[in-house]
Each structure stands twice: as C-alpha cells, then as structure tokens.
Amino acid sequence: MSAELRANFHEQLDQIRTEIARMSADVTELVPRATDILLDADLEGAEYVILGDDDYDARSIELEEQCFRVIALQAPVAQDLRSLVSAIKIIADVERSADLCVNICKATRRIYGHELDAELRGVIRKMGEQAHALFKECTEAYLNLDGPRAAALHDMDSYLDDLQRQFIQVIFESHAAGHIDLQVAVQLAVVARFFERIGDHAVNVGERVRYIVDAWVPEHPYPESDNDPPEIVAVPELGADD
Amino acid sequence: MLLAVLVATVAGVVAGVLIASALSRRAVAPIRVDPVVDEATGSSVRDAVDRLEIGVVMFGSAGDVTFSNAAARMMNGTHAGLIVSDHLAQVVEQVRTRGAGSREVVLHGPPRQIIAIEAKPLPRGGVVATIQDVSARALVDAMRKDFVANISHELKTPVGAIAVLAETVAEERDPAVASSLSARLVDEAHRAIRTIDDLLELSRIESKQPSDDLVDLAAVVDLAVERGRALAIGRDIEIAALDSGDALRVRGDRRQLESALGNLVENAVKYSHDGGAVQVRVRLDEPWIELMVADQGVGIPARDLDRVFERFYRVDKARARGTGGTGLGLSIVRHVAGNHGGDVAVQSAEGEGATFVIRLPARLLVAPTAADDNDRALSAPGDER
C-alpha cells in the first residue's frame, strides 16, 4: 500500500516537473517571437505578447501552490525535497523571463518608427537566437533532469554576454554616426540587458537542475558572478551628438 | 471439514481471479491496438506504424495515451515535444466536443518549423492523432503565393505609373512641368523594360540548353568587375578580383556565366555601404570550380537566406525600389549554375556582408595544356578532365 502511495507521489512530482517544463518551453518560444516583433516593429504582435503575460503569472502561481501542497502533505526528503524546493525557484526564473520578453515587446513600441542599422539588427538577431538556445537547453535539461547538459549552460551564457558587449559597442557606433538618436540608443541598451538577463535565468535553472540531480551548489565565493552585467569597456567619444 | 474449506477457498480465489481478469479485459479491450499480424512475415500493424515518419498517437476514452509510435515517442523529453503535447491534448478535446480537430503549431526556431496535428475519433471510442512536420510544404505554398503577388506587383507598378503620368502629360500646358513628368515617364518605362528583359532572360535560361563555348573565366571575372565599377561610381567602393582564375578555362555558356557573375557583383555593389569592398575570387577546389563574390554590406537575415533565390523575392520590401533591381538577378544566377550542373550557395548574417559562391563541376574544366592550343581543345572534347 505504501509503495503505491509512493508511486503516486512520484507521478505527482513528474507531473509538476512536466508542467513547469511546459511553461518554460512556452517562454522559450516567446524569445524568438519577441525578437521578431522587435525587428519587424510588429506592434500588433507586441500587444499579444504583453496581454499574454497574465497567463504566465497565473500559471506560475498555480504551479507554486502545487509544490507547496505536495511539500506540506508528503513531507518529502532528499532528492524529492530538493526537486520541489528547486521547482519553486525555477518557476520564478521562468516567470521572470516571460516578463523580460514582454519588456522587449514594450521597447518595440518605444523605438517604433526608427530605422535600425543592419549591424544592429544582426546583433539583436544573434542575441535572440542565443537566448533562445539557452532557454531551450535549460528546459530540456530540467525535463530530463540531465546534469551534464545543465552544466554546459554556463559556457553558452558567456557567448551571450560577449554579444551584449558587442551590441553596446555597435549602439555607440551607430549613435556616433548619427543613425539613431540618444533615446533609441538607450532603449536598445536596455533591450540588450533584457536578452542578457534571460540567459542568466536559464543558467540559474541549469544550476538548480544540477542541485536536484546531485545536490551540487555553486562554489562560494563565486569565481565570477553570473548575474553581474558584463563590463562595458572602450566607450568611444560621444561628443558627436551635441 | 478442513478440506472442504480449503476447496471452497481455492474455488473462490480462482473464480475471483477469473472474474477480475474478465472485468479488466473488458475495461481495456476497446482501446488496445488490434494485434493484426501478417501471417507470412510475422510483422504486426504496430511494427508498420512504428516505421512511419509521421507521429501517431492513440488516446483512450479517458484521454490517456494508449499507444504512440516511434516518431511520436522520439519527441518525448524535447522542447518541441512539450509544446506539441500541450496542443495535442487540446486537439483531442476538440474531437470530443466537435467530432474532429486539427491545428498547426509554429515553432519559432531557428529553424522555423510548422507542425500539423490532426485528430479523428475512432469507431469504438478513443481518438487517433497524427503529428507531421509540414515546414517544407508551407514554404512551397508561401513561394507560390508570393510569386503570383510579386509578379503582378512588379509588372503592374511601372505600367500603372506610366499610364497615370502619360495622362497627366497630355493635359499639362506648362512646358517645365511637362518635361519633368516626361523624365519620370522615361524612368518608369525603363523600369518596365528591365523587368521584362530579365524575365525573358530567365525563361531563356530555363528553357535552353547551355551552349558549349570555351569560356576563359578570367575574362568573365574582368567583365563582371567592370560592370560593378560602372555601378559603384561616386560611392568609393573598391572592387577587386583577388584571384581571377587565370588559365582556368571551362566548357559552358559564355553569356550565361557572364550574366550570373555580373549579377552577383552588381548585387554586392548595390548592398554595400559607401567605402566598402567587394571581392571576386575564382578557385579550383576539386571536384568544384568556385566563383566567389563577397561584400561587407548589409547582409541577409537568416530567415531570408533560403528564399533569396526565388523569383521576385525581396528581403527588404520597403527599400526594394531604391536599389533599382528587378528581383530576378539571383534566380538567374541559380538557373545558370543549375544548367551547368552546379549550384549556388550563400553565406551571410545581417549586418555582416554576404558571400555568394557559384559552384561549377570541375569536369567542365579544359586542361591547361589543351587551352594553349585552342583548335585541339575545341575539336577534342575527350581532353576534358
């Protein structure tokens, strides 16, 4: 009888994980969608994504509730406890990433009507692709509780950080050449930060997957904190504008 | 007494088991896959369904999955699987309420994928659903639709403009205005002529076997570079033939090859920034001869890369008229390459320039020794490598 209860309990855990992974997969799709919306100045699409955010909020609250309930009723231990506690944190990372996609769509409204250089568009596209790849990877690593795959996310994120640095540089150049005004330049710098943050959340999910699988925790102090924005070096003279 | 109890107990247990198994069989019977087996080979329907490329999933009356074939099982544990399974559940629900259900799911990628889900009720309860990647079909549909829309746009726009301008000129009394209108009339007429010329050229290339000339690739490159320079006047774009394939001679259609390489160089110039550089290179890389044109211009977004060789396809629809092209150049290039048994490829990212490569099979090459002696080369095709 107790074996049956346990089986039922593990089914519950699997179901919660699948549901969270499904929300994460939906957010994964949201990343390229937001990138397209930004590059195509698609205001209608932006509206849909912005309106759809409530759904993610509702889903994350519902999933969190499920985790609380299982923790309270089943008193899980060891990996089961790790997986439920991590699930609560992963839900927050996924939900926050959906917000960041919404922010990208809101930025689309603010830069509407401004033409972007091909170089800018190219780097935005690359950042979108890399953030998408990271999120897809962390979703699948979590769904399959695949520790080694989760561990690889860190390196994927450093490429996204490099892209952010490169993007900031291109923004400066485009602004200095008079192709975009200061307002658009600032908006784009913020967008770069949104993509970079999505990558960080994916890395967080990866770390939590490793914690579930073998109780791995990051070394302290961090050799290099994941969540620090990449340092921006070599600011070219900005005097051209005034 | 003891014996009687024992017998009764055993009988009871046996009966219980029988009833239980009968009940459970009745419960699962309608949703179990019919084990139809081909008597000669021993293969079952299940084996056959497992080898289909499309995913097949069966659902029981309670909405639970009772069978999924290999293609469907492959999706377990993947990002696509998560998305598709969610939609699958909704489509099955549609079947329950409306009798049939279907849906197309777009995965943004890259690469962008379109997955069609279709579900139908089964005669004895339950639902069967198929999952199929229809990205290629969707691309062909988009091509066909865009082509019809684009060709009528490209032909009608200049002709419509000519009609309106001509009407205005006919009524205009001010000679200054009339002359400026006529100038625009001439522009639009030339635009229409260019489009029609390119269309005719394209259909000629499509329908005609390439002629069998002895073509000096260095001369083809020189001509293309010249064409590019004429277009680059005043824009400070450097066009260089880094390696013009000296002494490389091929058998092919001279006019077509000139047109193809010329189109690529012209494109490279058009999409370059002022002060940029365009490089042309020919090299032998067995089993191919590669004609390469590289620029540092605006580049091509990844999602358009597959489609730039389509007739009239434009990456930037808004700015298309500014470049003065007809939208047929790259289609011509692709057909010329195809006619010579080769192909054309492009490598590009937005903002990072583009490199186009025409590959011709090296068997078209005429041996360098034979090239010194034109008569022998022309009369003895056996000398070809």
Q: What is the pLDDT of residues B95-126, one digit of tens each?
A: 888 888 889 999 987 778 899 999 999 888 88
Pull the structure tokens for residue B263.
């189109």
Complex ipTM = 0.75
More confident residue, A228 or B68: B68
Indicate the DSSP class of residue B44: B
- What pLDDT is recorded for position B55? 92
Question: What value does the mean pLDDT of chain B take?
Answer: 80
A125 touching B (Cβ < 8 Å): yes
A26 contacts in B (CB within 8 Å)? 83, 86
Q: Which amino acid is at A87?
A: A
Q: Which pLDDT tens digit goes with each residue over B45-65?
A: 888 888 999 999 999 888 788
Complete edge-to-edge strand list for the sheet that includes strand B127-133: B65-68, B55-59, B127-133, B113-121, B101-107
CA distance A47 to A116: 21
Cβ(B328)–Cβ(B198) under 8 Å? Answer: yes
Average pLDDT value for residue range B193-208:
83
Residues 29 to 58 of A: which have CB under 8 A from any B CB? 29, 31-33, 36, 39
- What pLDDT is recorded for position B35? 64
- What pLDDT is recorded for position B382? 43
Contact B108 A32 (CB under 8 A): yes
A126 contacts in B (CB within 8 Å)? 349
**Strands, DSSP E only, in chain B?**
55-59, 65-68, 101-107, 113-121, 127-133, 213-216, 238-243, 249-252, 277-285, 288-295, 343-348, 354-361, 365-366
- What pLDDT is recorded for position A224? 54
Pull the structure tokens for residue B122.
């089964």
Tokens 């231990």, residue located: A77
- What pLDDT is recorded for position B198? 84
Distance from the Cα of B298 to chain A's closest Cα (Å) equals 5
Q: Which amino acid is at B315?
A: V
Residues 71 to 100 of A: which have CB under 8 A from any B CB? none
More confident residue, B27 or B272: B272
With 80 as the cut, is the pLDDT of residue A240 above it?
no
Which of these, A152, A146, A133, lies nearest to A209 by C-alpha position? A146
Chain centroid, CA A97 distance in Å:
4
Q: Which residue of B has its CA nearest to A137?
A: B79
With 90 as the cut, is the pLDDT of residue B194 above it?
no
With 60 as the cut, is the pLDDT of residue A228 above it?
no
Q: Which pLDDT tens digit goes with each residue over B82-91?
A: 999 889 988 9
A53 pLDDT band (50/70/90 cuts)? very high
A21 pLDDT band (50/70/90 cuts)? very high
Contact A18 B82 (CB under 8 A): yes
Q: Which pLDDT tens digit goes with each residue over B254-264?
A: 888 998 999 89
Residue B287, preceding bond cis, omega within 30 degrees? yes
CA distance B246 to B257: 16
Contact A132 B108 (CB under 8 A): yes
Q: Among B17-26, B53-62, B296-305, name the most confident range.
A: B53-62
- What pLDDT is recorded for position B313? 81
Query: Which domains are delineated in chain B?
Result: 45-133 (3.30.450.20), 140-205 (1.10.287.130), 210-383 (3.30.565.10)
Query: Which domains are delineated in chain A?
Result: 2-241 (1.20.58.220)
Angle at B283 between CA B277 and CA B289, to 5 degrees: 120
